[in-house]
Amino acid sequence: MDAELRFIAEATGATEARLGERREALWSGYGQILRVHLTHEDSEESSVVVKWVTPPSAAPDDVSHARKCRSYDVEAAFYASFAERCDASCRVPRLLAHRASEDGWLFVLEDLDAAGYAGRRREPTTRETEACLAWLAAFHARFVGASPEGLWETGTYWHLATRQAELAAMTGGDADLRRAAPLLDRKLREARFQTILHGDAKPANFCFADDGAVAAVDFQYAGGGCGMKDVAYLLYGVEETDSLLDVYFAHLRRRLAGRADADALEREWRALHPIAHADFARFLAGWSPAHWSHDVRAQRLTRRVLEGLRP
């Protein structure tokens, strides 16, 4: 990694860049996230987080591999064209440097731990979930009506056009959901109000500060869509959904500040929340049938959506 460390030092104006701890591996062996320590001319120490993407040499040249590779170009486009519009209400790390080559991608990012967002949660409390919803509301409000240029035309990693293999894998017991998949997708795509989605808004992609604020990372699947797709994904499996939706929409209204008709947007998106939930359930049923087969609550909610579905 000597060449990469030299690049990081030059890009950040440091006299030396030293490899720190490995934070985590990227999905499917496509690289790793590292902390790199910097020394500056005045001997001051700092750190950055490096997302080093190195697709495995034996990766199959298939739809899944192409989707993953495209996702890193999307993440670069997000940081280049959208991240600067995110303020403290929807905090994201600053991109300090970026390099793409035949070997992969290298992202040099602000260290959010050092910036005060050191907390990570797999199972957030209700208050922490509310903070994530406040972030999503601010993010969605900021980009209502924005064109997803350079991003996925349809955001989220599970959207139907890129998950045909999972659709085909759905078993006979999910025939109604499989048949309804195109209609669920169309209702979300044809919503009047569209925004930019985070695309993978799970708790693990939020970083928590001691004062309750949050920042978000991992924008590989950012793209256009109805904001309920992010919200339904974050709240998937959560019991008190109605009260949490109220929290989200209260924050959204505050952040819209005349950017859109808040009453019309809320009416439309509230009605689409169950559709977004069923859309993610469609992916899960094909991608992880063992998990889906035991998720009785989600199956019940999805059946309710399908029963009320009209073209």
200 neighbors 225 (Cβ within 8 angstroms): no
Q: Nearest to residue 293, comparing CAs of 301, 285, 305?
A: 285
> Once rounded to an integer, what is the mean pLDDT over residues 301-306?
94
- Alpha carbon separation from 25 to 3, 54, 112, 194, 255 (Å, rounded): 20, 11, 18, 33, 35
Residue 24 and residue 119: Cα distance in Å, rounded?
15
Residue 184 and residue 153: Cα distance in Å, rounded?
17
Residue 275 and residue 185: Cα distance in Å, rounded?
8
Structure letter (DSSP) for residue 200: -
What domains are there in the chain, each with its CATH number?
2-110 (3.30.200.20), 126-307 (3.90.1200.10)
Residue 284 and residue 156: Cα distance in Å, rounded?
13
pLDDT at 32 exceeding the cut of 90 = yes
Number of Cβ within 10 Å of residue 178's Cβ equals 18
E strand or H helix that includes residue 130: helix 126-142
32 neighbors 26 (Cβ within 8 angstroms): yes
pLDDT at 59 exceeding the cut of 80 = no
pLDDT in tens, 232-254: 999 999 988 999 999 999 999 99
pLDDT at 311 exceeding the cut of 70 = no
pLDDT recorded at residue 172: 82
189 neighbors 209 (Cβ within 8 angstroms): no
- Give the three-state DSSP class for 215: strand
pLDDT at 194 exceeding the cut of 70 = yes
pLDDT in tens, 272-302: 999 999 999 999 999 999 989 899 999 999 9
Encoded tokens for 262: 């808040």
User: Residue 105 — very low, low, confident or very high, per pLDDT cuts 50/70/90?
Assistant: very high
